[in-house]
């Protein structure tokens, strides 16, 4: 069997592990336009902030490719899939034949056009190379402007805080981290980040850039030495789209991760849409664990096993300046439980007698996985001691039978 994987990040690695779970001998080839050993993209901010060495950027042990018998074609971009003859064509016109193909092309930064932007020059913050470029440019005390107060923008801000205290973040939304936090949580986090010296302009955007100055729509101006555009990302769907696969915002797959409309082609990771069980709709869940799991499922199915990817929910675990957030699921409940204690915040979202989502911050993040499991396993809260659980996430709240299953059996 001849497996080809486009993409060398979590989905691709997951796919390798999924294939090797059963097929120890089939040929696996990974194609990536980045020239690096597989590395963890979420670590680029840590690397930039000098919290992680080059060595520790590696997502897997140094001997991963050898141990798993993987060929790599690094630094070359796949430009076309010829599904009819089962070939991938690379940017040097070379061809790679496949029996089974995984597309794990990830996403790319979305940079909205803005007058003067191209002239003034900017950085994005997705890849190792992005971080390297920023690191090369940044000088102690440099003025940094970050457009976008989402996960990427704020992680960049945290990293750059190691170099300068002169950081400004602007976002069109009226709160930071608007995709994962509600208003209370966002307010707490914003205050926390501001306490480190980072300035925010919210509910506004850049009107235009003039030299190293941004003119905001609210009339303010902001000088900068370094500009980072972190407004959003877009999935890399072109290969599939061109090959005739079904694409919405992201690539559409079935539960086996096979791309709809194509045969022997699978897709996983940020370039795909997943079925979010917490809301019952397809959406892009662009997070690393999701990418890995999808890749693994794809790999297993590519190697002839029969697995389905279910129970995907949005989930995030992230921290800024030592204040941690763990969130999951949807925030559209019919009931909620909320506790605020200083920087710590907890909100549990309940819908139809089940936990559907939560936001945890600060000291409340401990044992968050217990809540996650409630969402994923769709356990009716009436089956458990929710009064106990809402304040003390633990197995004590579960029925004896459920608990014995968790504790006394091998899983």
* Interface positions with another protein (CB under 8 A): 14, 40, 42-43, 46, 51-52, 56, 58-61, 288-289, 292-293, 296, 315-319, 322, 324, 326, 328, 365-370, 372-373, 376-377, 385, 388, 393-397, 400, 403-404, 406-411
Tokens of 143: 């003025």
Q: Least separation, in Å, of the C-beta of 260 and another protein? A: 25
Q: Nearer Cβ to another protein, position 46 or 209?
A: 46
Q: Least separation, in Å, of the C-beta of 406 and another protein? A: 6
Residue located via tokens 């991760």: 257
Count helices and strands (H / E) in the chain: 12, 24
Q: Nearer Cβ to another protein, position 147 or 389?
A: 389
Q: Least separation, in Å, of the C-beta of 377 and another protein? A: 8
Partnered with residue 73 across adjacent β-strands are: 31
Residue located via tokens 């199915």: 301
Q: Least separation, in Å, of the C-beta of 384 and another protein? A: 12
113: Cα separation from own chain's centroid = 24
Q: Nearer Cβ to another protein, position 18 or 333?
A: 18
**Do 10 and 59 form a contact (C-beta atoms < 8 A)?**
yes
Q: Least separation, in Å, of the C-beta of 217 and another protein? A: 34
Q: Nearer Cβ to another protein, position 181 or 293?
A: 293
Cβ-proximal residues to 359 (8 Å cutoff; 6+ apart), any chain:
180, 181, 182, 185, 325, 327, 331, 345, 346, 347
Radius of gyration of the chain measured on its C-alpha atoms: 22
Q: Least separation, in Å, of the C-beta of 317 and another protein? A: 4
Q: Nearer Cβ to another protein, position 35 or 322?
A: 322
Rounded distance between C-alpha atoms, residue 115 and residue 120, angstroms:
10
Strand 281-283 and strand 198-202: the pairing is unpaired
Q: Nearer Cβ to another protein, position 86 or 127?
A: 127
Rounded distance between C-alpha atoms, residue 28 and residue 2, angstroms:
6
Q: Nearer Cβ to another protein, position 61 or 66?
A: 61
Rounded distance between C-alpha atoms, residue 350 and residue 330, angstroms:
9
Q: Least separation, in Å, of the C-beta of 85 and another protein? A: 34
């Amino acid at each position: 069997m001849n497996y080809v994987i486009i993409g060398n990040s979590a989905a691709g690695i997951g796919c390798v592990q999924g294939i090797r779970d059963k097929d120890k001998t089939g040929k696996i080839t990974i194609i990536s336009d980045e020239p690096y050993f597989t590395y963890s993209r979420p670590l680029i901010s840590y690397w930039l902030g000098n919290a992680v060495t080059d060595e520790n950027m590696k997502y897997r042990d140094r001997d991963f490719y050898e141990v798993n018998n993987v060929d790599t074609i690094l630094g070359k971009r796949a430009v076309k899939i010829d599904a009819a003859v089962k070939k991938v064509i690379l940017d040097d016109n070379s061809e790679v034949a496949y029996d089974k193909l995984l597309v794990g092309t990830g996403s790319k930064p979305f940079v909205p056009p803005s007058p003067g932007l191209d002239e003034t020059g900017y950085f994005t913050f997705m890849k190792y190379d992005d971080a390297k470029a920023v690191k090369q440019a940044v000088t102690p005390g440099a003025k940094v402007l970050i457009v976008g107060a989402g996960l990427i923008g704020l992680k960049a801000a945290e990293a750059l805080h190691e170099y300068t205290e002169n950081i400004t973040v602007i976002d069109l939304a009226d709160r930071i981290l608007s995709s994962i936090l509600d208003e209370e949580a966002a307010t707490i986090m914003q205050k926390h980040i501001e306490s480190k010296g980072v300035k925010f302009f919210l509910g506004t955007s850049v009107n235009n850039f003039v030299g190293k100055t941004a003119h905001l729509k609210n009339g303010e101006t902001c000088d900068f030495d370094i500009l980072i555009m972190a407004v959003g990302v877009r999935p890399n769907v072109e290969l599939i789209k061109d090959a005739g696969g079904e694409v919405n915002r992201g690539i559409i797959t079935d539960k086996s991760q096979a791309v709809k409309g194509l045969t022997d082609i699978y897709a996983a990771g940020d370039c795909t849409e997943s079925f979010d069980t917490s809301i019952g709709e397809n959406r892009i869940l662009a997070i690393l664990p999701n990418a890995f799991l999808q890749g693994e499922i794809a790999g297993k199915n590519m190697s002839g096993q029969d697995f389905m990817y279910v129970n995907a929910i949005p989930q995030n675990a992230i921290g800024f300046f030592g204040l941690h957030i763990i969130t999951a699921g949807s925030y559209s409940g019919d009931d909620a439980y909320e506790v605020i204690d200083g920087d710590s915040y907890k909100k549990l979202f309940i819908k139809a007698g089940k936990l559907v989502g939560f936001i945890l911050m600060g000291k409340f993040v401990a044992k968050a996985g217990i809540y996650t499991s409630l969402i994923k396993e769709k356990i009716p809260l009436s089956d458990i001691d929710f009064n106990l659980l809402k304040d003390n996430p633990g197995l004590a709240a579960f029925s004896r039978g459920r608990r014995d299953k968790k504790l006394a059996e091998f899983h």
